[in-house]
């Protein structure tokens, strides 16, 4: 595939030491969690075929090699080719023993899902990738580049079961959970296809799906991405965005990783929030903010409160005052997201001047306020547009 812009001639292995929040080699695999009855981990095994390498923790891959009579350290050699040098053909892995080169494809699958479509924005600063999974499901991922660096926006589910009233993905319903390898593959594809070199890129789980409703697979994918022998993405550069699944927020705070947490609040009273976020029936604003407070305290880092601005729904002066009060009760930053229109949905984006006025009301009374002027609206890649067929006009 052609790089989108600024192709660098040969991808080089990053010449940086893993930051402190990258899991060191030999780090424990999944620590014993408290069960995940609601969402069983999807198996990384294709029907009949070998498991995907992209769904294995480096230690699991090492054990698999040992089981088949190879030496454990070979795992690091292979992973170095795959994640650093971006080589997936075993024949080209020149320092790997010939016997392993010949048998590797029988032990693990090195295939990535097919890229069904890539749409680059006119400004070439964002691109939407549609991946076609082995069972025909389609998921979308978005790569964005700005002065602040590169951000890759990942999907955690095909569709979503949360049914937020204004969201294109919500309108699809939940098709299925993604497996860890299908999450990791999105990153590998986008790094390769864009050719954008930024050793400090960010990952955000703000694509299709509710990441905390696919908890085990999302956390495993994060451990693979975070591992020094995986893509070595620092945990602080990974943000999980949630509609507010309180038990899973609490569980995430115990995973021992410095992950960013974003809470999709969107309303300042339970009455209003129930109308646009059905899950509010189960977890109300105060429960969610209490979990967010504990998360911030436990990790010693601020959470993000996301607030989609819907014209005439949640953009009044009173809303701004109430939002400021809620925001002051949590160590947080506030991220205002002017609504990105979705075809056939009644919701409207406030005029830019209204967005600015809301931000101006909020700013003096609230912790750090920013406005997310979404990139990629012209390619249907902005927040909440994933899953809609055509870009909104
Ligand atoms: N399920 C996760 C991730 C969703 S996408 C969550 O709810 O947080 C990331 C953000 O985009 C969420 O805050 C979501 O509510 C918001 N969003 C959804 N549809 C949108 C739209 N059409 N315009 C702007 N933001 C939208």
pLDDT of residue 20: 72
pLDDT at 389: 53
Pocket test for ligand 1, best of 154, 167, 343 (most atoms within 8 A of CB): 167
DSSP H helices, the chain, are 58-67, 74-79, 98-107, 168-172, 180-194, 215-226, 246-252, 270-276, 285-299, 317-328, 352-362
Q: Is the pLDDT of residue 137 over 70?
A: yes
* Percent over 70 (pLDDT), the chain: 88
Residue from 166, 264, 377, 386 whose mutation best tests the ligand 1 pocket (most atoms within 8 A of CB): 264
Alpha carbon of 80 to ligand 1 centroid (Å): 35
Amino acid 30: pLDDT? 41
CA of 135 to the centre of ligand 1 (A): 26
pLDDT in tens, 312-338: 999 999 999 999 999 999 999 999 999
Q: How confident is residue 47, by pLDDT bands cut at 50, 70 and 90?
A: low
pLDDT at 77 over 70: yes
Would you give the DSSP letter of residue 212? G
Asked which of 10-14, 44-48, 94-98 is least confident by mean pLDDT, the reply is 10-14
Q: What is the mean pLDDT of the chain?
A: 89
Q: Residues with catalytic annotation? A: 140, 383
- Backbone φ/ψ region at 265: left (φ over 0), alpha (ψ -120 to 50), beta: alpha
Distance from Cα 178 to the centre of ligand 1, integer Å: 18
Q: How far is CA 369 from the centre of its chain?
A: 22
Q: Residue 287: which of 275, 276, 279 has the closest Cα?
A: 279
Question: Count of H helices and E strands in the chain?
Answer: 11, 12
Residue with CA closest to ligand 1 atom 7: 243
What pLDDT does 3 receive?
Answer: 41
**pLDDT tens by residue, 255-285:** 999 999 999 999 999 999 999 999 999 999 9
Report pLDDT for 391: 43
Residue 19 has pLDDT above 80, yes or no: no
Query: Residue 21's pLDDT band (boundaries 50, 70, 90)?
Result: confident
Taking only the tens place, the pLDDT of each residue in 153-179 is 999 999 999 999 999 999 999 999 999
Protein residues with CB under 6 Å of any ligand 1 atom: 164, 166-167, 206, 210, 241-243, 264, 306, 308, 337, 339-340, 342, 383-385
Nearest CA to ligand 1 atom 4: 206
Q: Could you give the angle at the alpha carbon of 76 between the alpha carbons of 75 and 79, nearest 5°?
A: 85
| Residue nearest ligand 1's atom 24 by CA | 339
Give me the pLDDT at residue 211, please. Answer: 98
CA of 48 to the centre of ligand 1 (A): 36
What is residue 18's predicted lDDT score, i.e. its pLDDT?
52
Name which residue leads in pLDDT, 25 or 364: 364
Please name the residue whose Cα sits nearest to atom 18 of ligand 1.
384
Cα dist from 357 to 45, 260, 362, whole Å: 52, 28, 9
What local confidence, expressed as pLDDT, does residue 14 receive?
34
Q: What is the mean pLDDT of residues 1-22?
A: 46
| 187 token code pair | 């990153």
Mutation test residue for ligand 1: of 153, 210, 337, the one with most atoms within 8 Å of CB: 337
Which atom of ligand 1 lies at the shortest distance from residue 207's CA?
5
Q: How many CB atoms lie within 10 A of CB 125?
A: 16
User: Which residue has the CA at smallest separation from atom 20 of ligand 1?
Assistant: 384
pLDDT on residue 252 = 98
Separation CA 76–CA 330 (nearest Å) = 42
Q: State in Å: Cα 159 to ligand 1 middle.
A: 13
φ/ψ of 306, rounded to 5, equals -95, 140
Supply the pLDDT for residue 324.
98
For residue 78, the Cα-to-chain-centroid distance in whole angstroms is 25
Q: What's the rounded Cα separation, in Å, for the pair 99 and 118?
A: 37
Alpha carbons 227 and 62: distance in angstroms, whole number: 14
The alpha-carbon radius of gyration of the chain (Å, integer) is 21
The number of the ligand 1 atom at minimal distance from the alpha carbon of 205 is: 3
- pLDDT value, residue 377: 72
Expressed in angstroms and rounded, the spacing between residue 384 Cα and the centre of ligand 1 is: 5
- The mean per-residue pLDDT over the stretch 246-260 comes to 98
Q: What is the pTM of this model?
A: 0.90
* Nearest atom, ligand 1, residue 342 CA: 22
Ligand 1: distance of its center to the CA of 210 in Å? Answer: 10
Residue 126's φ and ψ, nearest 5 degrees, are -150, 155
Share of the chain above pLDDT 90, in %: 79
From CA 240, how far away is CA 45, in angstroms rounded? 25
pLDDT at 124 > cutoff 80: yes
| Residue whose CA is at the smallest distance from ligand 1 atom 12 | 264
Coil, strand, or helix at residue 329?
Answer: coil
**H or E segment to which residue 307 belongs:** strand 303-309
């Amino acid at each position: 595939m052609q790089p989108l812009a600024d192709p660098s001639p040969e991808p080089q292995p990053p010449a940086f030491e893993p930051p402190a929040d990258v899991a060191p080699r030999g780090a424990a695999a999944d620590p014993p969690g408290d069960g995940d009855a609601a969402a069983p981990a999807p198996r990384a095994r294709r029907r009949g075929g070998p498991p995907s390498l992209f769904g294995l923790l480096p230690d699991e891959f090492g054990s698999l090699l040992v089981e088949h009579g190879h030496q454990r350290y070979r795992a690091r050699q292979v992973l170095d080719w795959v994640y650093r040098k971006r080589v997936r053909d075993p024949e080209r892995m020149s320092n790997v023993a010939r016997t392993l080169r010949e048998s590797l494809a029988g032990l693990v699958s090195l295939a990535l899902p097919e890229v069904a479509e890539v749409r680059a924005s006119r400004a070439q600063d964002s691109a939407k990738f549609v991946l076609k999974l082995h069972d025909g499901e389609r998921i979308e991922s978005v790569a964005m580049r700005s002065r602040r660096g590169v951000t890759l926006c990942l999907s955690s589910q095909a569709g979503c079961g949360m049914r937020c009233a204004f969201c294109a993905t919500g309108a699809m319903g939940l098709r299925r959970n993604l497996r860890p390898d299908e999450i990791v593959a999105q990153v590998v594809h986008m790094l390769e296809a864009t050719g954008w070199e930024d050793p400090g890129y960010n990952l955000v789980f703000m694509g299709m799906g509710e990441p905390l409703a696919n908890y085990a697979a999302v956390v495993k994918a994060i451990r693979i991405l975070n591992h020094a022998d995986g893509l070595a993405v620092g945990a602080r550069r990974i943000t999980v965005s949630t509609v507010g699944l309180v038990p899973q927020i609490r569980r995430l705070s115990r995973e021992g990783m410095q992950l960013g947490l974003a809470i999709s609040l969107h309303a300042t009273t339970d009455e209003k929030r129930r109308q646009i976020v059905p899950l509010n029936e189960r977890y109300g604003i105060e429960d969610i903010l209490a979990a967010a407070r504990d998360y911030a305290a436990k990790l010693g880092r601020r959470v993000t409160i996301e607030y989609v601005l819907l014209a005439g729904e949640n953009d009044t002066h009173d809303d701004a005052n109430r939002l400021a009060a809620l925001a002051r009760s949590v160590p947080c930053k506030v991220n205002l997201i002017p609504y990105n229109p979705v075809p056939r949905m009644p919701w409207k984006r406030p005029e830019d001047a209204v967005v600015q006025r809301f931000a101006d009301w909020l700013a003096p009374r609230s912790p750090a306020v920013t406005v997310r002027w979404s990139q990629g609206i012209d390619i249907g890649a902005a927040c909440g547009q994933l899953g809609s067929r055509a870009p909104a006009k």
